Amino acid sequence: MAQNILLQEFETNFNTAPFSKIKNEDFLPAFKQAIEKARAEIDAITSNTEPASFKNTIEALDYSGEQLDRISSIFFNLNSAETNPVIQKIAQEISPLLSEFGNDVTLNKALFNRVKTVYNTKSQLTLTKEQETLLDKKYKGFSRNGANLAEDKKETLRDTDKKLSQLSLKFGENVLAETNKFEMLITNKEDLDGLPDGTVEAAKQLAESKKQEGWLFTLDYPSYIPFVTYAKNRSLRKKITLAAGSKAFKNDTLDNQNIVLDIVKLRHKRANLLGYKTHAHFVLEERMAQTPETVLSFSNELLEKAKPAAKKEFSALEAFAKKQDNIERLEKWDGSYYSEKLKQELFSLDDEKLKPYFKLENVINGAFTIAHKLFDLNFEAISNIDKYHDDVLTYKVTNNNNELVSIFYTDFFPREGKRNGAWMTSYKPQYVKNGKDHRPHVSIVCNFTKPTKSKPSLLTFNEVTTLFHEFGHALHGMLANTTYPSLSGTNVFWDFVELPSQVLENWCYEKEALELFAKHYQTNEVIPMDLVNKIKESATFHQGMQTLRQLSFGLLDMSWHAGDNPENITSVKNFESEVFKNTSLYPETKETCMSTAFSHIFQGGYASGYYSYKWAEVLDADAFDYFKEAGIFNKEVATKFKNNVLALGGTENPMTLYKRFRGQEPKPEALLKRAGLIK
């Protein structure tokens, strides 16, 4: 019988994942065996007769489960980017096994006693800063996750964690199924009025691929966003907007309302069991913000600055829609459409006029050039490693000494087995073991407009900033230079993780950077200066409304997770409507609900952490101010950023790292000024 490929040492170039050789049926047995192997590694630590030391306990623990981590990263990345019913079924079987194993480790008394012994003697040990952080993290990993609980309470914790892992998987499956289910076929050409040629062509191609006559629109972003932004037909904009807003909120088999309530109640119960007031108190103890009170006062302070501006912007938009088309009441399906029209009128800036300058390949090369100028990285396209889909592009990343820095995967277009949105992930972390520096395998996944028969993939400006955002995360992973895998790359406090991604977006607005890659796909003409100026001028357009929107999501997250008694919540919709009262501008729509498809907090890791986007914006605006003072390609500032932020991962407190780079704590004024909310 052939040995399971996932359980062998990968005999591949750069030790990359052998995607084409992995079969779906390999996963379950591989997981089971890898869990047993990881268990044996834990047993070896606890049965060690030598006294507990940093090396034989803390370090050994961090290096344990290497094979299991590798298999998990391959499997769960495929479940996000290239899933199918078989993989989804396996995920439902595997998640409780992993949850149980995780609990077996954190609730292992003998292991915790060894960790505690080392922790209690830390003042007598000679440890590096990174080792101190690792020791602290390992100790908290136990104490914060039930190691001090009585046996019966440990069983309750296990049961809770198992249920939570299955519920969040089911939540994500329902959202994906709802996204894939909706199709809007247009057969009357007049209903396409206002839509860009590229969008119409893509819709035609999609209909043809499904053997349908006409033009097909879906809830995938490259189809949905242009439709609500440009389609003149208001009733069709309404139809697709309500479909997007009512995902998993239809009281049918794909409904997420009870799942949301169950997740929230279980998280609260878990936090109480561990001695915390709420889930938010539990989560935020390990964040820069530290408490829900800090998050709420931070959010409300920004809200106070943004709300007057947002209201003013909304009134102006309403007046504009009335003047244009005699619209009496601006609805959710009107927002993007009239915003785009108003933006064009104010700045003569049309996203469609910009798109020819943002051919996907040029933007990728632009990001690579900027990474080279700032951090001495070189990207070479390679075809000698396996990939999980034909759309995926693969690169070898080296430094100026031609040493391997990272392997890099990119996956840019929507397809049925891929969830919406954009994210960065890794297939292998960076770490040093037995003197060998294992370099990371990093990936970014997006959902951009596909090339059509007549045009290459041309990005909207928003897609350009999304690519730079995910690439910023990727640089954090690639440039990791730490000893221990659990502190490497993006393994940092959640409200610090968005700094590298958000700071990189700033280069998209700078003339010096745009001239490197914003070239017309037909003529190769560099983007005209007046367009660059318009991009900069329009950067503050509707910033009040945008800020209000982001804050409303963060406040909804905190309301779900920082409330005293989620048991009393009976209606997801009523609860959400109440929370949004203070931040909503558009009239309420009874058919829609955000929470039932709020994957960030019910499927991803952002529960009690959504505020971190805004938090990191304060950091990134302050950090970019420093670059601008010295010049956006200043080597000295870039090297300080690389050495203190990107390379060091989670090895020290993020504020310590930030101050070492910046020389001071971040000031919110830079963000408010950039957003045009203060002069």
Which are the catalytic amino acids? 470
Cα distances (angstroms) measured from residue 160 to each of 76, 101, 269, 557: 21, 14, 8, 20
Rounded to whole angstroms, the Cα distance separating 553 from 600 reads 10
Q: Strands 393-398 and 378-381, how do they pair?
A: antiparallel
Tokens of 591: 């058919």
Tokens of 575: 């609860």
Rounded to whole angstroms, the Cα distance separating 173 from 85 reads 9
Cβ(633)–Cβ(584) under 8 Å?
no
Closest CA to 42 of 94, 110, 119: 110
Cβ(471)–Cβ(490) under 8 Å?
no
Cβ(260)–Cβ(601) under 8 Å?
no
What is the length of the chain? 679
Tokens of 401: 């000494």
* Residue 490 backbone dihedrals phi, psi, to 5 degrees: -85, 10
Closest CA to 195 of 318, 351, 339: 351
Tokens of 126: 């000679």
Q: Strand runs (DSSP E) across 617-664, as ranges? A: none
Q: Which residues contact 511 (CB under 8 A, 6 or more apart)?
A: 529, 532
Q: Which residues contact 206 (CB under 8 A, 6 or more apart)?
A: 215, 216, 218, 223
Rounded to whole angstroms, the Cα distance separating 145 from 147 reads 6
Residue 455, helix vs strand vs coil: coil
Closest CA to 80 of 603, 448, 488, 609: 603
Q: Which residues contact 628 (CB under 8 A, 6 or more apart)?
A: none
Q: Which residues contact 173 (CB under 8 A, 6 or more apart)?
A: 88
Expressed in angstroms, the distance from the first to the final Cα of the chain is 71
Cβ(265)–Cβ(575) under 8 Å?
no
Closest CA to 283 of 158, 170, 145: 145
Rounded to whole angstroms, the Cα distance separating 645 from 228 reads 39
Cβ(457)–Cβ(451) under 8 Å?
yes
What letter would DSSP give residue 610?
T
Closest CA to 338 of 588, 545, 531: 545
Rounded to whole angstroms, the Cα distance separating 171 from 169 reads 5
Q: What is the DSSP string of 424-449?
A: EEEEE--EEETTEEEPPEEEEE--PP
Rounded to whole angstroms, the Cα distance separating 549 from 303 reads 10
Cβ(494)–Cβ(612) under 8 Å?
yes
